A and B are shown apart, each in its own frame.
Chain A
Amino acid sequence: MATVEPQAETVVAGTVVAPGAAAPERRRSEALYFAVRNPKLLFGLGLVLLLLLVAIVGPMLTDREPFEFYDELGQPPSRDHWLGTTAPGQDVYTQFVHGLRASFIVGALAGLVAAAIGMAVGFLAGYRGGVVDEILSMLTNVVLVIPTIAVLIIVSAYLSVGSLIGEAVLIGVTSWPWVARAIRAQTFSLATRDFVSLARLSGQGSWRIIVKEIAPNMSSYLFLVFILLFGGSVLTAATLDFLGLGPSEVMSLGLMLNVAVSNSALQLGMWWWFIAPGVGITAIVAALYVMNVGLDEVFNPKLRKT
């Protein structure tokens, strides 16, 4: 979502500094100082960590499996089934924590894939310029213009993704264009700086320069980008799973929603089955977005006044 994009130029402007040992350390402690005082960051990060804890520890608190059946059909939350049961008798709590786990895995993986591709394309286009840039820009535009959900729907309908990894890769491969564009813009301005010219003169290869000089100067921005991709991927995966296009062999929050809706959970009074996955998805994504904005404020002094 472009609208919560970190303010790219300002971040870079605020953190680029001539190579020198003292400055990065001061920068880092300065960032830390503001980090622990930023309510948005604390709240967002806190929620993310809490959910992560639930995703990791949750399944261990029960020896039930998400696809196992019990005799209590469509029962509300009780001491035996903490989040109730589904209409055919599966345990909602077990499904919820496994689904949360799946969301984290897909989100992180897809985020990494998209970040990797976006960075590769963006850095290369921004640094090299010229023909390379034209070609990569066109590639970016093509993938950008194609609405992600539509592609995913169509491809998933046919490929029948059978695993979380497959789904993550699919999402990652279609979500990178805005990243590439933004990074390209950054790299353009950075590539003209003195320290880069120096590195180029000393005969270092393009990729080495990118990895050692340019990227570190954008590290905070890259982190923000990853958080955004993470959140966006969780949403996209949930939508796909809800439409029944994700891997049905693995329990996910979107799949829970899908089955709950197919069984008209709300209309038949099984609200717990419907509310849990929706709240789960919203919580992860909102936490990530809030964390993102908090981090943005931490790294960018100009946003700090509020």
Chain B
Amino acid sequence: MSRYLARKVVIYLLTFVVAVTIDWAIPRLMPGDPVSGLIARLQADPTAAQEMHGYFTESFGLDEPLWRQYLNFWLGLLHGDLGPSIAYVGSSVSDLIKEAVPYTLALLVPAIVLSYIAGNRVGALAARRKVLDNTALPISYVLTATPYMWLALVLAYVLAFRWEIFPVSGAYDFALQPEWSVEFARSFLAHWFLPFLTLFLVSFGGWAIGMRNLIIYELEADYANYLQALGAPNRLVRKYAYRNAVLPQMSGLALALGAVVGGALVTEIVFGYPGVGSLIITAIQNRDYFLLQGIFLFIIVGILIANFIVDIAYVIVDPRTRTGLQGS
């Protein structure tokens, strides 16, 4: 097992280095000079503009040779410093991301976990009950095919704008500031619900469908037939089937993370939820490539860690990997 994990760690580290390099390189390959863009947005008068251009280019280190910029990026990374923001001159990227992360995590973690659990349960149930199968399944198909942003917009319009059950946007009421209080917590939850629901619904569909198919497959497997032939109770057979079905679903979880993160970004944008997704859009609107690069890096690290956690969980759940055999 330790060999398996050690190999995984090495792969992840390599992946990290490559990903960081790509992340650093992409903005620099793009056309357009971000400082010119910044100056243009600030609408300075022509004389000042000329000088500001040189000044800001130098202060961002953009006049240094590329290899030096790359090195500085790594050095900064090791200190936890992701560089300065171009759009919000004077702020550091790390600070901006730190502000936004808790909100995105608050959406992602419950949505992923709960939709995974609920989706798997419903999928497993649907595999053996025809009635549920004929209703839950088509609904799941539609849900998983619905673009996140469309569902978000519809939910926002119906539940928030029209019926005014939930607030339209934001993470908390405009009258409040973040603090330790019941009032804030209540407001936070009320604002959290719709974006969470959006993510939950779309992901739920996918898990349900996947689990249902896997269970059906397992129930037809040789060992299942054998057990049934021996007269074992259905519940026992289902228990083993479920255990086996969970494995591919787990590796599917790692793959699905990418999709859900993407969904979270778009959902945040629709609900104006001040997480990483909104920050990305702000960064794009303001052409802040240091900020984008930092966020991007953050997402990669997050997913790598999540993948690693899933790998560990997989090892725990599947005894075959522990004894040195490769899992499916």
Contacts and interface: CB of A to CB of B under 8 A. Distances in A.
For the complex, would chain A's binding face be called helix, strand, loop or mixed by DSSP majority?
helix
A192 interface: no
B153 A274 contact: yes
Interface stretch (A65-73, A92-100, A288-296): A288-296
B147 A281 contact: yes
Given A146-B19, A282-B142, A159 B30 contact: yes
B14 A145 contact: no
Given A10-B217, A153-B284, A266-B153, A2 B210 contact: yes
Contact of A239 (B26, B262, B280, B284): B262
Interface string B128-157: 001001000000011011111110011001
A278 to B, nearest CB: 4
A302 B32 contact: no
B141 A290 contact: yes
B164 interface: no
A148 B262 contact: yes
A4 B144 contact: yes
B19 to A, nearest CB: 6
A145 B217 contact: no
A289 B304 contact: no
Interface string A273-284: 010001001100
A20 interface: no
Interface stretch (B38-46, B50-58, B191-199, B251-259): B251-259
B208 to A, nearest CB: 8
Contacts of A159: 30
Contacts of A4: 144, 206, 209-210, 213
A257 interface: yes
A32 B166 CA distance: 50
Contacts of B292: 154, 157
Contact of B161 (A155, A267, A281): A267
Contact of A147 (B11, B146, B252, B299): B299
Interface stretch (A121-129, A136-144, A193-201): A136-144
Contacts of A87: none
B300 A146 contact: yes
Given A142-B18, A239-B262, A7 B147 contact: no
Nearest to A283: B145
A242 interface: yes
B92 interface: no
Contacts of A213: none
Interface residues of B, number: 66
B217 A141 contact: no
Contact of B261 (A138, A149, A155): A149
B259 to A, nearest CB: 6
A202 interface: no
B147 A282 contact: yes
B31 interface: yes
A305 B15 CA distance: 42
A278 B150 contact: yes
Contacts of B64: none
B148 A239 contact: yes
Nearest to B205: A3
B307 interface: yes
A145 B307 contact: yes
B172 interface: no
A155 B23 CA distance: 10
B269 interface: yes
A302 B241 CA distance: 14
Contacts of A31: none
B141 A305 contact: no
A272 to B, nearest CB: 14
B19 A142 contact: yes
Given A138-B11, A158-B31, A267-B161, A149 B147 contact: no
Contacts of A150: 261-262, 265, 280, 295-296, 299
A3 B209 CA distance: 7
B265 A153 contact: yes
B82 interface: no
B220 interface: yes
B76 to A, nearest CB: 19
A94 B189 CA distance: 42
A220 B130 CA distance: 27
Interface in B233-290: 249, 251-252, 255-259, 261-263, 265-266, 269, 280-281, 284, 287, 289
A143 to B, nearest CB: 9
A218 B188 CA distance: 51
A243 B266 contact: yes
B170 interface: no
Given A231-B145, A289-B141, A290-B141, A154 B26 contact: yes
B27 A158 contact: yes
Contacts of B262: 147-150, 239
A5 B142 CA distance: 16
Contacts of A299: none
A306 B134 CA distance: 10
B69 to A, nearest CB: 17
The 5 closest A-B pairs by CB, nearest first: A149-B262, A3-B210, A158-B30, A286-B145, A2-B252
Interface of A: 1-5, 7, 9-10, 138, 141-142, 144-151, 153-155, 157-159, 178, 231, 235, 238-239, 242-243, 245, 257, 261, 266-267, 274, 278, 281-282, 285-286, 288-290, 293, 296, 300, 302-303, 305-306
Given A2-B256, A151-B296, A154-B292, 16 more contacts: A3-B209, A3-B252, A10-B217, A145-B15, A145-B258, A147-B261, A148-B262, A150-B261, A153-B280, A158-B26, A159-B30, A261-B153, A278-B147, A278-B153, A302-B220, A306-B130
